[in-house]
Amino acid sequence: MSEFVPEINRRRTFAIISHPDAGKTTLTEKLLLFGGAIHVAGAVKSNKIRKTATSDWMEIEKQRGISVATSVMGFEYEGYKINILDTPGHQDFAEDTYRTLTAVDSVIIVVDAAKGVEAQTLRLMEVCRMRRTPVMIFVNKMDRDGIEPFDLLDELEQRLQINARPLSWSIGAGPHFRGVYNIFEGKLDLYTPSKQFITESVEFKDIAGQELEKYISRQEAVKLRSDLELIEGVYPVFPSEDGMKRYLAGDLAPVFFGSALNNFGVKELLDCFVRIAPSPLPVQSAERTVVPEDDAFSGFVFKIHANMDPNHRSCIAFLKICSGKFERNNNYRHIRLDKMMKFSQATAFMAQRKETVDEAFAGDIIGLPDTGNFKIGDSVTAGETLHFKGLPSFSPEMFKYIENTDPMKTKQLNKGIEQLMDEGVAQLFTNQFNGRKIIGTVGQLQFEVIQYRLLHEYGAQCRWEPLNLYKACWIECDSAEVLDNFKKRKYQYMALDREGRDVFLADSSYVLSMVQQDFKGIRFHFSSEY
């Protein structure tokens, strides 16, 4: 067994996911505040950002008040090394979030108390369910009027298809929000709103004693006692051996209530999280199951970010370490290129602040400087051939021709497109009929972000031309003759992706179904493994 086990056991790597505007980035910031990673929280208000959130560091994120790229942050808390991935909530950037979920061991879902379960939360929960990822739920904005807590729990169970178990309970809500009773630790925390600094809350252990009424009204005390009795009678016992098994299997979600903006209920969530969330889990590769405790280093690239530092046009490949220990200046094997590489500038992140790391362990996420060597899904190991699975690229839903508006900046435009496509948020196809470049995305907002970043990060101007397409399908066929015949018949609708693979561009669902009927020998794929 590896000598690194104590280091691996103290790691907690998780993603925070939610529908846009549920308070995900604010919660991330407050967790960093408790971890001592930052000392003053910035208030994040949509479109009016006074002090920008630590995890939203791209210029366009600061302007719009939304996250458009996954941020990675690490900090120490009570002997644990915590790695947070703050993901985009906006559905136009869902693909970035899906891939991020392949790099984490557990998830915290943020739900708005007034809106309940929203569309994007449902989609993300499907990915968690598919991967059997352990989930905790933070019900945010309890200081605003919202859905009654028991009704909200019913909605969570029905719509997310997971068993809920409250581990803290709200006393009042909206203007009458008085605090939470921390069921997990058996104490009462009274609400003191503070956006800027960590506030001490009053603790109270004996819920049955009359002294409770010194802190909250008699009416509130009676309701709290009856609510807790109902919780203990109806919901699964937790913590318990069976409860922990069900949580780790992704079948049971502990639920906490609070207000991230006002820094309330966050510490309860964090204290419970570090105690029950899993340390790094085994990862499946095509060759074998990779266990974190293996002595040999291995990891995979799940995200690439262009322009971490716009002054230097630098790209960073985010690598999740799956096993063993990474050491700076060691030689490691890049599996796809089959070449040895040495990394002297590997970095760890606190949002855009990064520092060079000398060593990192399974569960950690490090940034490797990338000069064009990496693609999403690449494996890096101490020498063993491993191919990590499950990093798909989905068929885009919106397509536009991209045109250069300044011929003097062709080089900058091409470099910008190449680096932004490496990030995996959008896809580039080249039409085989006319040679024009087509960008495919899952939402309109991505086109705006690409245009903005090309201009502000690369000094290149582009314009979009509409293109009415339904789907891009990767095609393959066992017979070269049949494939060639298909390509000749449909040559106006054929394109190549960046890997040089054939892609059929269907302009309607009717055309696609007809083509599938007419060409039985062709296999059409709607996602490509990177």
Residue 104: which CATH number? 3.40.50.300
So what's the pLDDT on residue 37? 58
So what's the pLDDT on residue 214? 79
**Domain end position, chosen among 226, 250, 280:** 280
**Domain end position, chosen among 351, 381, 411:** 381
- 338 and 374 both lie in a single domain: yes
Residue 382 confidence class, pLDDT cut points 50, 70, 90: very high
- 372 and 416 both lie in a single domain: no
Predicted TM-score (pTM) of this structure: 0.76
80-94, 175-189, 252-266, 513-527: the lowest-pLDDT one: 80-94
So what's the pLDDT on residue 92? 46
What is the average pLDDT score of the chain? Answer: 83
So what's the pLDDT on residue 193? 61
Tracing tokens 């209920």 back to the chain, one arrives at 265
- 57 and 151 both lie in a single domain: yes
- 12 and 145 both lie in a single domain: yes
Beta bridge partners of 46: none
Concatenated DSSP letters of 181-210:
EETTTTEEEE----SSS---------SSSG
241 located within any domain? yes
Does position 397 have pLDDT exceeding 90, yes or no?
no
- Token pair in block for residue 461: 């101007």
Tracing tokens 């999403």 back to the chain, one arrives at 376
So what's the pLDDT on residue 529? 54
Scored b (16 or more CB within 10 A) or e, 49-87 reads: beebbbbbbbebbeebbbbbbbbbbbbebeebbbbbbbb
Q: For 503-525, what is the mean pLDDT?
A: 91
479 alpha-carbon distance from chain centroid: 40
Q: Is 45 exposed, middle or buried (0-12, 13-18, 19+ CB in 10 A)?
A: exposed
- 143 and 166 both lie in a single domain: yes
User: Alpha helix (H) ranges present in 175-311?
Assistant: 218-234, 241-248, 266-276
- Phi/psi at 68 (nearest 5 deg)? -115, 0
- Pairwise pLDDT comparison (201 vs 362), residue with the higher score: 362
Q: For 311-316, what is the mean pLDDT?
A: 64
**Closest by alpha carbon to 305, among 104, 68, 135, 29?**
68
So what's the pLDDT on residue 47? 33
**Percent with pLDDT over 90 in the chain:** 41
- Token pair in block for residue 125: 């929960």
Residue 306 confidence class, pLDDT cut points 50, 70, 90: low
Q: For 204-224, what is the mean pLDDT?
A: 80
- d(CA 504, CA 496) in angstroms, rounded, equals 9
So what's the pLDDT on residue 350? 63
Peptide bond into 236 cis (omega under 30): no
Sign of the CA dihedral running 195, 198, 204, 207:
positive
So what's the pLDDT on residue 52? 42
- Token pair in block for residue 95: 């693909």
Does position 228 have pLDDT exceeding 50, yes or no?
yes
Residue 42 confidence class, pLDDT cut points 50, 70, 90: very low
- 128 and 254 both lie in a single domain: yes
273 with 12: CB under 8 angstroms? Answer: yes
So what's the pLDDT on residue 76? 87
- 167 and 276 both lie in a single domain: yes
- 220 and 114 both lie in a single domain: yes
Task: Give per-residue pLDDT as tens, 281-300.
Answer: 999 888 999 999 999 999 99
- d(CA 514, CA 438) in angstroms, rounded, equals 24
23 located within any domain? yes
So what's the pLDDT on residue 310? 53
Q: For 71-81, what is the mean pLDDT?
A: 85
- d(CA 209, CA 217) in angstroms, rounded, equals 13
- Token pair in block for residue 117: 């379960």
197 located within any domain? yes
Does position 59 have pLDDT exceeding 80, yes or no?
no
Side chain identity at residue 406, one-letter code: D
Domain count for the chain: 3
- Token pair in block for residue 111: 């739900």
- 408 and 376 both lie in a single domain: no
523 located within any domain? yes
Q: For residue 126, give its domain range.
A: 5-280
Q: What is the CATH number of the domain that holds 431?
A: 3.30.70.3280
**Domain end position, chosen among 331, 355, 381:** 381
Does position 507 have pLDDT exceeding 70, yes or no?
yes
- Token pair in block for residue 376: 């999403």
User: Alpha helix (H) ranges present in 65-213?
Assistant: 94-100, 119-131, 149-160
386 located within any domain? no
57 located within any domain? yes
Most confident option among 220-224, 309-313, 395-399 = 220-224
- 124 and 261 both lie in a single domain: yes
110-114, 338-342, 375-379, 430-434: the lowest-pLDDT one: 375-379
236 with 167: CB under 8 angstroms? Answer: no
Tracing tokens 């029950």 back to the chain, one arrives at 276
Q: Say if strands 289-290 and 283-284 run parallel, antiparallel, or are unpaired.
A: antiparallel
Does position 72 have pLDDT exceeding 70, yes or no?
yes
**Closest by alpha carbon to 199, among 147, 266, 106, 257?**
266
522 with 485: CB under 8 angstroms? Answer: no
Residues 6+ apart with CB under 8 A from 209: none
> How many other CB atoms sit within 10 Å of the CB of residue 481?
9
371 located within any domain? yes
- Token pair in block for residue 227: 């609510």
**Closest by alpha carbon to 320, among 298, 335, 339, 296?**
298
User: Alpha helix (H) ranges present in 321-473?
Assistant: 410-422, 444-458
387 located within any domain? no
Q: For 465-482, what is the mean pLDDT?
A: 91
- 187 and 118 both lie in a single domain: yes
So what's the pLDDT on residue 123? 77
Does position 178 have pLDDT exceeding 50, yes or no?
yes
Does position 482 have pLDDT exceeding 50, yes or no?
yes
Q: For 114-123, what is the mean pLDDT?
A: 86
- Pairwise pLDDT comparison (308 vs 262), residue with the higher score: 262
Residue 50 confidence class, pLDDT cut points 50, 70, 90: very low
- d(CA 183, CA 169) in angstroms, rounded, equals 7
So what's the pLDDT on residue 45? 32
- 340 and 238 both lie in a single domain: no
How far apart, in Å, are the Cα atoms of 512 and each of 137, 399, 455, 509, 523? 40, 16, 36, 5, 12
